[in-house]
Amino acid sequence: MIRPLKPETVVPFLEALGVRTIQMGRLEASAVLKERDDLTSQFGSLHAAALFGVAECASEAILTKNFDLDVYTPLLKSVRISYQAQIFGEAQARAVVSEEHLEQAKREIDVLGRTDLEISVRVFSNEVLAAEMDLLWSLRKFIPSSTGN
């Protein structure tokens, strides 16, 4: 069963990675991930999947700030990723959404009970750009399971 997330809920996978949200705003959010040996690639840099995790966390923070996640369930629909550099050390993700796209999504969800919203994320280490990602989220009205599971 898919359950709605609450702002205080930690996504278990992201918690296992050690990702932390450090800023949660209406149009911008940030998350960080400290380097650990178990998160590195064969080259000693943070693994690409770990970079995606910190980016996902930052984008989810924008959703949490703008939508009632007791009512709507966010599901990742698609991702475009451009990796540009390896990260050795802490990764910082900065997510942004435009005012125009956010307001359009809010209008759609009020009328239709669903919407899609694209959030752009840049992942840095010491101000060096490591990756750019566009995450397309689908938000749908949560329908509880009739079986209670």
φ, ψ for residue 38, nearest 5 deg = -75, 0
User: What integer is the mean pLDDT of 64-82?
Assistant: 94
Residue 101 is assigned to a structural domain of this protein? yes
Task: Write down the pLDDT at residue 146.
Answer: 59
Torsion of CA 88, 48, 53, 1, to 10 degrees: -150
CATH of the domain at 116: 3.10.129.10
Counting the structural domains of the chain, the total is 1
- CA–CA gap between residue 124 and residue 88 (Å, rounded): 10
Residue 97 is assigned to a structural domain of this protein? yes
Structural domain including 127 reads 12-141
Task: Write down the pLDDT at residue 118.
Answer: 98
Task: Write down the pLDDT at residue 147.
Answer: 55
Residue 122 is assigned to a structural domain of this protein? yes
Q: Is it the case that residue 109 has pLDDT exceeding 70?
A: yes
3-class secondary structure per residue, 90-144: CEEEEEECCHHHHHHHHHHHHHHCEEEEEEEEEEEECCEEEEEEEEEEEEEECCC
Task: Write down the pLDDT at residue 105.
Answer: 97
pLDDT in tens, 1-38: 344 444 444 577 888 888 999 999 999 999 999 999 99
Residue 7 is assigned to a structural domain of this protein? no
In three-state secondary structure terms, 54 is helix
Residue 127 is assigned to a structural domain of this protein? yes
Residue 4, both tokens? 């709605």
Beta bridge partners of 28: 96
